[in-house]
Amino acid sequence: MPETMRRAPVDALVAVGLSHRTAPIDIRERFALGDRRRAEWVENLTARPGVSEGVVLSTCNRTECYLAGTDAEALDRLGREALCAVSGMGPAGDSYLATLEGASAVRHLFRVTSGLESLIVGEPQIQGQVRGAYRDGRPMVGPVLHRLFQSALEVGGRVRADTSIASGVTSIPGAAVGLARKVFGSLDDRSVLVLGTGEMGRLTVQCLKREGAGRVFVASRDPDRAERVSRPLEARPMRRSAALEALDQVDLVIACTESEAAFLRPEQVGGPRTGAAPLVILDIAVPRNVDPRVAGISDVFLYNIDDLRHMVDRARAAREHERERAEAIIERHVARYRAWRRSRRADPAVRALRNTARQLVVDALAARTPVPDEDEALRLASQAALNKVLHGPTRAIRWLAERSDGEACLHRMEPWLAGRGEPRVPAGSGEVRTGG
Q: Is 60 a catalytic residue?
A: yes
Residue 283 to residue 303: CA distance in whole angstroms: 6
Q: Which helix (H) or strand (E) holds 136?
A: helix 125-136
391: amino acid identity, one letter = H
For 309-325, give one letter per residue: b (16+ CB within 10 A) or e: eebbeebbeebeebbee
- Long-range own/partner contacts, residues 41-49 (CB < 8 A, 24 or more apart): 41/82, 41/86, 42/137, 42/140, 43/139, 43/140, 44/82, 45/78, 45/79, 45/82, 46/140, 48/78
Angstrom distances, CA of residue 130 to CA of 113, 392, 410: 7, 38, 36
The length of the chain in residues reads 436
Q: What is the DSSP letter of 329?
A: H
Can you tell me whether residue 399 is helix, strand or coil? helix
158: amino acid identity, one letter = R
Distance of CA 326 to the CA centre of its chain: 17
Main-chain phi, psi angles of 101, to 5 degrees: -130, 145
Left if phi > 0, otherwise alpha if psi is -120 to 50, otherwise beta: which for 212? left
Transcribe 8-71 into DSSP letters.
Answer: PPP-EEEEEEEETTTS-HHHHHHH---HHHHHHHHHHHHTSTTEEEEEEEE-SSEEEEEEEES-
Residue 419 to residue 2: CA distance in whole angstroms: 6
Q: Whose CA is closest to 213, among 199, 234, 240, 238?
A: 234
Give the Cα-Cα-Cα angle 270, 178, 326 (nearest 5 degrees).
Answer: 135
Active site residues: 60
